[in-house]
Chain A
Amino acid sequence: MNTVVASITYRAMLGRKRVWLLALLPIALIAFALLFRFIGGGDESVAVELMKTFAIGTMLPLLGLIAGTGVIAPEIEDGTIIHLMSKPISRPVIAFTKYVVAASLMLGFSVIPTYVAAYILIGTESGIAAGFALGALFAGIAYAAVFFLLGVVSRHAVTIGVIYALVWEGLIGGYVPGARRFSIQQWAQSIADQVTTSAFLKSEVALSFAVPAMAIVVVGSVVWAGQRLRVLSLTGDE
């Protein structure tokens, strides 16, 4: 960890208009929770549906994408990363610091709003709020790691990340049951399923697979990103 690098990265992510990209989705989630509460839909199935489709299914991968790639990819894209890399700081440390920033953004912009929205809808009933918040926490950490690695490896990080989230997790995961094993979303749901007692949530992936897979993905991605940063070459854009 390097506090200076961390503070610069926080400023880049939260400065001026940029913060809206992160803030709008959680605000929308809480607005939906309020709306459903208002029209009297505050029952368990509605809460699970909102959490599954919107919080875990849409907001989490999107914020992971924005936070994970956003902490490093823009700097690589416009070449200003060279100022950071020419300082006597180990590059794996730079990578780790930036990843920690991304993961902490996930905590603030996705885990807490997930809990708040579920709490607005049904309070602490059946442990839905706690379960989904915990699932969002672990999955957020994993999404941030994967997309952070993509941001270091490829210039088309965001597009590849979107293809993973929409086509692999959304389309292929819908038809091919085997693909769901390699979906961070499903891992989040199996963690949520452990905590909540709600009958409306059925997880597809066993916890004994999801947790080790998540650990491997996070550690592997961050270490690999650090190694990639050591040999990063800055070439012209297109």
Chain B
Amino acid sequence: MSQPTGVIHDIGYRHYDGPRLGRGAGAVALWVYSLRGTFGLGRTFKSKIMPFLLFGAMMLPTVVSIAIMALLKQEPMSYTDYAVFMQPIIAIFLAAQSPVLVAPDLRHKVIPLYLSRPVTIVDYIGAKLAAMIAALLILLVVPLTVQFVGEMLIDLPMPLHTHEYLAALGGSVLNAVLLASIGLALASFTPRRGLGVASVIAFYMFTLAASAVLTGVLESEGHRDAASWSILLNPFFLVNAVQANLFGTQPTEGLPFPSGAGPALILLAVVALALTGLYARYRKALAA
């Protein structure tokens, strides 16, 4: 009666003896995969439409500006104001693509599967964040660079805007870091894509309107100092102010930004807050 009833058969599974790439390679692979995901590469055609449409919209002013330089020999569009000018498009890209990075993994509860590999939670968040930063940089830097190359080739009867171009590149990095941390932190709070898009865009539209209304009213009431600070509520104006103070460029027309290190400190504080929120969110996702 007490004879063994189960037998383990050798069906020929083999061990993997090759090299193992480890933590860094895992994080880089995740970064590349996420960056491709933000533009819908490797996904269905439908998920490519939106990012490429928005990228096309970002290129539009550049094309027009090059045409104006070539045909009318006039000044190119301002490099340093480009992000402020195109802010709705950038915000829509951020809102539409942030949930693409974070929502599916949260919804299908697969983060423990990532962590069963050498990748840690900091690597995971870092890779997602770096992917969003890189995607935003592509969105911002490509049009600026194309216009700069155009300006060099057209040979206008005025000096090149090299300093403005370089300052705009610095501003693009600041924009990308700030927006990516806020976007991912907000989008990670819900596992549903639609709600993620809504919360990121709600944040942007709220800051846009709040900064406009507050500044307008405070200025008309004579509180000039408070008005110049309240305009920084809008993240694009905040970056523009830091850019102007840091690189000594002209701020966007008609905006009286506060000078000194204040805006830069606000920017750092906002990024730190967003990253803390993001980290706390994933700690909670793991505990649940």
Contact = CB atoms under 8 A, between A and B. Distances in A.
A49 B213 contact: yes
Interface string A153-191: 001111100110111001100000000000000000000
B95 A25 contact: no
A158 B198 contact: yes
B221 A21 contact: no
B88 A170 contact: yes
Contact of B213 (A53, A62, A156): A53
Contact of B212 (A53, A156, A157, A163): A53
B95 A159 contact: yes
Interface stretch (A65-73, A83-91, A103-111, A201-209): A65-73
B135 to A, nearest CB: 15
A32 B96 CA distance: 29
A237 to B, nearest CB: 8
Interface-centre pick from A66, A162, A170 (highest chain B CB count, 10 A): A162
Interface in B61-89: 88-89
B92 A163 contact: yes
Interface residues of B, number: 36
A19 B57 CA distance: 34
Contacts of B212: 53
Nearest to A50: B213
Contacts of A231: none
Given A32-B210, A40-B221, A62-B205, A21 B199 contact: yes
Interface string B92-121: 100110000000000100000000000000
B36 interface: no
Interface residues of A, number: 44
Interface in A2-45: 17-18, 21, 24-25, 28, 32, 36, 39-41, 45
A224 interface: no
B223 A39 contact: yes
Contacts of A151: 194
A28 B210 CA distance: 9
Contacts of A112: none
B201 A238 contact: no
A22 to B, nearest CB: 10
A238 B213 contact: no
Contacts of B199: 21
Given A36-B217, A40-B221, A166 B91 contact: yes
B262 interface: no
B248 interface: no
B206 A25 contact: yes
Contacts of A159: 50, 92, 95-96, 197
A49 B202 contact: no
B194 A77 contact: yes
A24 B55 CA distance: 31
A36 B213 CA distance: 10
A66 B220 CA distance: 33
B208 interface: yes
A58 interface: yes
A74 B209 contact: no
Interface in B207-240: 208-210, 212-214, 216-218, 220-221, 223
Contacts of B221: 39-41
A84 to B, nearest CB: 17
B192 A57 contact: no
A155 B44 CA distance: 13
Interface of A: 17-18, 21, 24-25, 28, 32, 36, 39-41, 45-46, 49-50, 53-54, 57-59, 61-62, 65-66, 69-70, 73-74, 77-78, 151, 155-159, 162-163, 165-167, 170-171, 238
4 tightest CB-CB pairs across the interface, nearest first? A58-B209, A158-B197, A159-B96, A166-B88
Interface of B: 43-44, 46-47, 50, 88-89, 91-92, 95-96, 107, 189, 192-195, 197-199, 201-202, 205-206, 208-210, 212-214, 216-218, 220-221, 223
29 contacts: A21-B199, A36-B217, A46-B220, A49-B213, A49-B216, A50-B213, A54-B213, A57-B209, A58-B205, A58-B206, A61-B205, A62-B198, A62-B206, A66-B198, A66-B202, A69-B194, A69-B198, A74-B192, A74-B194, A77-B194, A155-B46, A157-B194, A158-B95, A159-B95, A162-B197, A165-B205, A166-B205, A167-B92, A238-B46
